[in-house]
Amino acid sequence: MMWPRDDAKLNRVRALMAEDDLDALVVRAPDNVLYLSNFWGMKGYDAVVFPRGGDPTLICLEASADDAARTAWTEDVRLFRGYDEGDPRPPQARALEAALAASKTHERIGLELSLGTQAADRMVGEPTTYTKAWFDAWPGAADAAPLLARARAIKTPQELERMRLANEIAAAAMEHVRAELRPGMKESEAGALWNGFVHGQGTGWKGKVDLAHGFSLVWSGPGIRTFTATGVRPVQEHEPTLFEIWVCADGYWCDHTKNLCPGALTPEYERLRDSLMGVYERAIDHCRPGASLAELDRLIREGLAQGGYPGQPSHPVAHGVGARAHEPPYAHQAAAAGTIEEGMVLAIEPGAYWDGGGGLRVEDNFLITAGGAEKLSPFPDGIVQ
């Protein structure tokens, strides 16, 4: 879909650049390229030179010229070749040369010097990494990663529309799996049902999504743990099957954890569900403009401790979502400052896990409005039977 230029977003970036006295940003992370130009590249070789005044420049792989012409918000598109018969260097070297040429008139440059993670390109399977030459090319450059994090934390109406599409696709895929899930099915088969629906039906969703990808971790019953891979374990009849799921729809993401159970829950899981949902609901109620991010982390962890799960979970409990599935802000009790602001989208994800396997996590994405937190996914939380 052709999205109109999001001036509210771009003007906010330029205002922050003025505060930091930066003349131009030079970005290579696919999510920042998308954020500033609306172009989602295939291989992650592309870049954007984004000036405080004037038109941005998209540095684009020659093979993606048609995509750039159709989707990019700038007319200044400079192409480089993926293969050059006279140049044995990788294409990133030619992209760097083009970015240097496009930025040569600017003095104060900002680079993604402290960027910790980035979203995938459209191919998703082979992320492109930075080389030392990229950072050395602009000696004295400032770190623009904090500026971009501040800008991206508050979503524009267009960004919210795009994120709602990702949330809708994720929920529809869960409804599809809900109708098909059977005891004894492999976790990997359950995951494939969900992933297949996202890619097959999400691509073209409502005529607004060019490409949708799904990413899932699926664990059932005693297989529920943190940071383990989906495997051949069977779906349990009386215990939840947990779906840790992301949808990327044209570069905008959602991040959920949903739970299905084919039969009646065991009493142990009923008690855990009720306890965890109480903590979750108190956390959601906390999420209002001006509320403390540090207190959100404490509230969840203290609530879990009171329920018999001290020290849990071992993963973060709240983070931003947008052009990445995990992006600032993050809730952490040791953070010196940080408040929840209107326009943020937060993933809230408390979890409690049993020794030896089993447990539960719930998660959805919430838009912070003047009146509180608005849940973005129509699929229920808790354990759906």
User: What is the DSSP track for 20-49?
Assistant: TT-SEEEE-SHHHHHHHHS---SSS--EEE
- Nearest CA to 107 out of 133, 140, 82, 80 is that of 140
What local confidence, expressed as pLDDT, does residue 189 receive? Answer: 98
The long-range contacts involving 55-64, CB below 8 angstroms and separated by at least 24 positions, are: 57/102, 58/33, 59/95, 59/98, 59/99, 59/102, 61/91, 61/95, 64/39
Q: What is the pLDDT along the chain (385 residues), one digit of tens a residue?
A: 789 999 999 999 999 999 999 999 999 999 999 999 999 999 999 999 999 999 999 999 999 999 999 999 999 999 999 999 999 999 999 999 999 999 999 999 999 999 989 998 998 888 888 889 999 999 999 999 999 999 999 999 999 999 999 999 999 999 999 999 999 999 999 999 999 999 999 999 999 999 999 999 999 999 999 888 999 999 999 999 999 999 999 999 999 999 999 999 999 999 999 999 999 999 999 999 999 999 999 999 999 999 999 999 999 999 999 999 999 999 999 987 799 999 999 999 999 999 999 999 999 999 999 999 999 999 999 999 9
What local confidence, expressed as pLDDT, does residue 64 receive? Answer: 97
CATH 3.40.350.10 range(s) for the chain read 7-153
Q: Are strands 57-61 and 47-51 parallel, antiparallel or unpaired?
A: antiparallel
- Summarised one tens digit per residue, pLDDT across range 243-302 is 999 999 999 999 999 999 999 999 999 999 999 999 999 999 999 999 999 999 999 999
Q: Would you identify the CATH topology of the domain 157-375?
A: Creatine Amidinohydrolase (3.90.230)
CATH 3.90.230.10 range(s) for the chain read 157-375
114 CB-contact burial (10 Å; exposed 0-12 / middle 13-18 / buried 19+): exposed
* CA dist list (Å): 278 to 10, 142, 298, 304, 381: 39, 44, 15, 10, 12
* CA dist list (Å): 182 to 99, 189, 196, 321, 385: 53, 10, 17, 32, 11
What local confidence, expressed as pLDDT, does residue 337 receive? Answer: 74
What local confidence, expressed as pLDDT, does residue 276 receive? Answer: 98
Q: 7-153: CATH homologous superfamily?
A: Creatinase/prolidase N-terminal domain (3.40.350.10)
- Listed in order, strand segments (DSSP E) in the chain are 24-27, 47-51, 57-61, 77-80, 109-111, 142-143, 212-220, 241-249, 252-260, 318-320, 327-330, 345-348, 351-353, 359-361, 364-369, 372-375
